[in-house]
A and B are shown apart, each in its own frame.
Chain A
């Protein structure tokens, strides 16, 4: 059974995604990058990403990930690490165990190069 199913499927993912996005928006280091984004679209994209990293049914290709982040000035490993830390914390709050959080983090790592345009 995937972590996605254990968490409770699409409705639970929606709620986890909102908590995750809320944490990101409250983080001064990251919030500036979200000043002008459409919140609905952002949550939809993050839900698709979380579905993928949690092993749910996903068509996520991350194809536009590189182009979406390319124009963001000053994006660095510090920002990417910050987002991963929020992801881990939100999963911890949802009752996910440390070994699963590590596994999710490893999957999320796979998009670092795209996000940071390397």
Chain B
């Protein structure tokens, strides 16, 4: 098969994705999850059909312009493609990078144009050198408009992105992708309790979801569970940070869970669901963090009587580049 990319022709092997094929030819397309969810690898079709999998989850305006996901496109006939260019990623500048706790940075980034997002969604950040990673947004739209988007970034030894952020100066240029992800609060969840559980920096978007719900006068109980491998991984400490002004006392239950101390987050969320009482079908759960923990919690909550349609999950995947 013939793949024309920005006017040059390359061969594409059967079963190979556009992303894999171009990488084999030494042409890198920015990418992160490679599984169709982060939308970092969007490109635009000029002629030919990239197939339905490559268009899944993209917003209608993008589809109308011919955008598709290079990681999910396994065309069965010739295809001509143009790189997405800068029109899909918002130019941005670093506002600040501070230590939030052991091994976690609080990163603030201001985009040149406002981004429309819901708390709980994630974006890609790209450095000028093209390193691209996915991060969940940790603050609310009004706060982001005033002081920039906030992210909680785990520092990894030798990490290409976290290392760059730790050494970058305020004002440094980067690019922010379109907000994506389905783990956010809707009015469908307004009537019942919220159970939010995250491991590591997965707690950051969950706190934003809880704060948004409470700011919107969510009246039913809100339970947040933060899990970590060690006590030191609980970088926000033992108490719930920043419930919104005006939220009633005791509106939020905060529980921590340390794996090395024998505390299992799956047991903890199951206990909290039971403590909420009533019909588990009325509870909405938000789960965020490592794929294994999120998968186990999802199964346990389903078995405890929750409907799958009310379990929103966002699994963090390790970087692939």
CA gap between A82 and B309 in the complex, in Å: 26
Query: How many B residues touch A, CB cutoff 8 Å?
Result: 8
Residue interface bits A36-63, CB-to-B below 8 A is 1, else 0: 0001100100000000000000000000
Q: How far is the CB of A2 from chain B (nearest CB, A)?
A: 24
Q: When the two chains form their complex, are residues A22 and B302 in contact, meaning their CB atoms are under 8 A apart? A: yes
CA gap between A25 and B308 in the complex, in Å: 14
Q: How would you classify the secondary structure of chain A's contact residues: helix, strand, loop or mixed? A: helix
Q: When the two chains form their complex, are residues A39 and B298 in contact, meaning their CB atoms are under 8 A apart? A: yes
Measured between beta carbons, the chain B residues less than 8 angstroms from A25 are 299, 302-303
Q: How far is the CB of A8 from chain B (nearest CB, A)?
A: 15
**A18 on interface, CB distance cutoff 8 Å:** yes
**B307 on interface, CB distance cutoff 8 Å:** yes
Residue interface bits B300-313, CB-to-A below 8 A is 1, else 0: 00110101110000
Q: How would you classify the secondary structure of chain B's contact residues: helix, strand, loop or mixed? A: helix
Query: How many A residues touch B, CB cutoff 8 Å?
Result: 9
Measured between beta carbons, the chain A residues less than 8 angstroms from B307 are 15, 18
Q: When the two chains form their complex, are residues A39 and B303 in contact, meaning their CB atoms are under 8 A apart? A: no
Measured between beta carbons, the chain A residues less than 8 angstroms from B302 are 18, 22, 25, 39
Measured between beta carbons, the chain B residues less than 8 angstroms from A26 are 303
Measured between beta carbons, the chain A residues less than 8 angstroms from B305 are 22
Q: When the two chains form their complex, are residues A43 and B308 in contact, meaning their CB atoms are under 8 A apart? A: yes
CA gap between A40 and B309 in the complex, in Å: 9
Q: How far is the CB of A54 from chain B (nearest CB, A)?
A: 19
Q: How far is the CB of A93 from chain B (nearest CB, A)?
A: 13
Q: How far is the CB of B110 from chain A (nearest CB, A)?
A: 37
Q: When the two chains form their complex, are residues B308 and A40 in contact, meaning their CB atoms are under 8 A apart? A: yes
Q: Which of A60-90 contact B (CB under 8 A)?
A: none
Q: When the two chains form their complex, are residues A18 and B308 in contact, meaning their CB atoms are under 8 A apart? A: yes
A-B residue pairs, 4 tightest by C-beta: A22-B303, A43-B308, A25-B303, A18-B307
> B residues within 8 Å of A by Cβ?
298-299, 302-303, 305, 307-309
Would you mind naming 18 contact pairs between A and B with Cβ atoms under 8 Å apart?
Answer: A14-B309, A15-B307, A18-B302, A18-B307, A18-B308, A22-B302, A22-B303, A22-B305, A25-B299, A25-B302, A25-B303, A26-B303, A39-B298, A39-B299, A39-B302, A39-B308, A40-B308, A43-B308
